[in-house]
């Protein structure tokens, strides 16, 4: 595993811990935002190991889709989850849409955990 | 046709894709094609075709026309475009430079899908990944309140980005089938609606529903449609859900700004 991928996974774990804490405290907007950050960091770690280092949210989602969205290397549903998490974060900002519901935030947190574990496994096999 | 034409290189630069598009639209004054056809015939990805078309439109060599939910491109009838057409058609053609030429059938989109090797259920062709045909239902009128939907431009989506319109219309067709009567409107907003699109911008869609009880359920209902179109067109389709009451009445946040620029799909 590259040092940067390792750092990204540490960052993922921090974001996950914050997401769980905020969900517990019923701050569902922040929980959704942190869950999205965790998913993005996991995706970046995955891409890093795969030889790509995109920067912005859009670039990460696009690069992840190209490299993993249709491949059997990781479950293709993770790509959907990543896009859904980003859209939930956008809604949680409240400028356009909202309010978001607690179940949506809880689902995002749960998916971020599953994705994080899958990415860690992928990195272990390929990093 | 113009790939080895020195005048084309001087006039529009070295981009092979740009010259292929120019050949499709300028060489044949009767040609009137939509984005997907241009992309397919130029052997490139939707994103690249969209970017090159935008450059050619802003240079005044190509014109875009909206018709229902489709956007068509044709060679401009301007004196400059006419002059360029005759220059290109009479200029000598150089032999291809083997070091610079793209291999036959080279296709960025195909390369990107090949990167995701082993993709089940994806048929590829020499010109790129085959995309299932889809139906785009034209709107005969704005879903509700045309003044809210299209207040800004002289024509439908006149400034909107072709890839944004194409991706938006594709998702919109699927959302109509998912929501039926619950759907009150689908709008393209953000940079791809207002023009001047940065290359990696999302396709931002605003979906107006009769009501929204659980936001997560709407995300889940539309998850597959958005992800599959994002993958097919190599662009991120992002959606946001707004209730009809908010769309009509909310005056805070960004909604008033979005209303002003939104393009009804």
Contact B17, B107 (CB under 8 A): no
Q: Which of B200, B242, B255 sits opposite A59 (nearest CB)?
A: B200
The number of residues in chain A equals 127
Question: Distance (Å, rounded) from C-alpha A107 to C-alpha A105?
Answer: 5
What is the helix (H) or strand (E) element at residue A90, kind and residue range? helix A77-92
Contact B261, A102 (CB under 8 A): no
SS (H, E, C) B172-191: HHHHHHHHHHHEEEEEEECH
pLDDT in tens, A51-71: 988 888 889 999 999 999 988
Question: Distance (Å, rounded) from C-alpha A110 to C-alpha A106?
Answer: 6
Mutate to test the interface with B, among A32, A96, A103, A110 (most CBs of B within 10 A): A96
More confident residue, B139 or B198: B198
Does the N-terminal peptide bond of residue A99 adopt cis geometry, omega within 30 degrees of 0?
yes
Mutate to test the interface with B, among A97, A107, A109, A126 (most CBs of B within 10 A): A97
Which two three-digit tokens encode residue A13? 């774990």
Q: Find the angle CA(B244)-CA(B175)-CA(B228) to the nearest 5 degrees.
A: 135
pLDDT in tens, B92-144: 554 443 333 333 333 323 323 323 333 323 333 333 333 333 333 333 333 33
Distance from CA of B139 to the nearest CA of A (A): 24
pTM over 0.80: no
What pLDDT does residue B92 have? Answer: 56
Model confidence at A25, pLDDT cuts 50, 70, 90, reads very high
Distance from CA of A12 to the nearest CA of B (A): 22
What pLDDT does residue B89 have? Answer: 67
Cβ <8 Å between B215 and A58: no
What pLDDT does residue A74 have? Answer: 93
Kindly state the average pLDDT of the residues B231-236. 92
Residues above pLDDT 90, as percent of chain A: 76
Global ipTM = 0.93
CB contacts, 8 Å: A64 with chain B:
none
pLDDT in tens, B21-58: 888 887 777 788 888 778 777 877 777 788 788 888 88
More confident residue, B76 or A34: A34
Given a cut of 90, whether residue B62 has pLDDT beyond it is no
Question: Distance (Å, rounded) from C-alpha A63 to C-alpha B3?
Answer: 30
């Amino acid at each position: 595993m590259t040092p940067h991928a390792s750092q990204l996974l540490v960052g993922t774990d921090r974001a996950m811990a914050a997401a769980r804490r905020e969900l517990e405290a019923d701050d569902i907007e922040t929980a959704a935002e942190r869950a999205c950050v965790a998913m993005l960091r996991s995706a970046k770690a995955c891409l890093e190991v795969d030889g790509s280092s995109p920067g912005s949210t859009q670039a990460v989602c696009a690069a992840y889709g190209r490299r993993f969205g249709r491949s059997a290397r990781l479950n293709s549903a993770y790509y959907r989850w990543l896009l859904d998490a980003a859209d939930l974060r956008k809604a949680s900002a409240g400028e356009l849409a909202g309010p978001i519901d607690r179940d949506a935030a809880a689902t995002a947190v749960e998916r971020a955990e599953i994705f994080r574990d899958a990415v860690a496994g992928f990195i272990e096999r390929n990093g | 046709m113009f790939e080895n034409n020195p005048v084309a290189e001087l006039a529009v630069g070295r981009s092979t894709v740009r010259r292929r598009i120019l050949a499709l639209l300028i060489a044949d004054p009767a040609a009137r094609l939509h984005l997907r056809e241009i992309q397919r015939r130029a052997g490139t990805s939707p994103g690249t075709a969209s970017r090159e078309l935008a450059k050619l439109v802003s240079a005044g060599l190509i014109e875009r026309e909206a018709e229902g939910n489709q956007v068509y491109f044709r060679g401009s009838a301007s004196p400059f475009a006419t002059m360029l057409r005759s220059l290109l058609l009479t200029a000598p053609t150089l032999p291809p430079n083997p070091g610079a030429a793209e291999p036959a059938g080279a296709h960025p989109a195909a390369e990107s899908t090949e990167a995701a090797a082993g993709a089940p259920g994806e048929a590829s062709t020499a010109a790129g990944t085959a995309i299932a045909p889809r139906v785009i239902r034209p709107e005969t009128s704005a879903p509700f309140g045309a003044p809210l939907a299209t207040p800004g431009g002289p024509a439908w989506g006149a400034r909107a980005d072709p890839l944004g319109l194409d991706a938006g219309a594709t998702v919109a067709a699927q959302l109509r089938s998912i929501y039926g009567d619950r759907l009150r409107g689908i709008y393209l907003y953000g940079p791809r609606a207002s023009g001047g699109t940065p290359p990696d911008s999302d396709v931002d869609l605003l979906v107006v529903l009769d009501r929204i009880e659980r936001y997560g359920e709407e995300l889940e209902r539309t998850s597959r449609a958005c992800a599959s179109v994002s993958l097919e067109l190599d662009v991120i389709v992002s959606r946001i859900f707004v209730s009809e009451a908010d769309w009509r009445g909310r005056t805070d946040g960004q909604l008033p700004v979005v209303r002003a620029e939104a393009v009804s799909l």
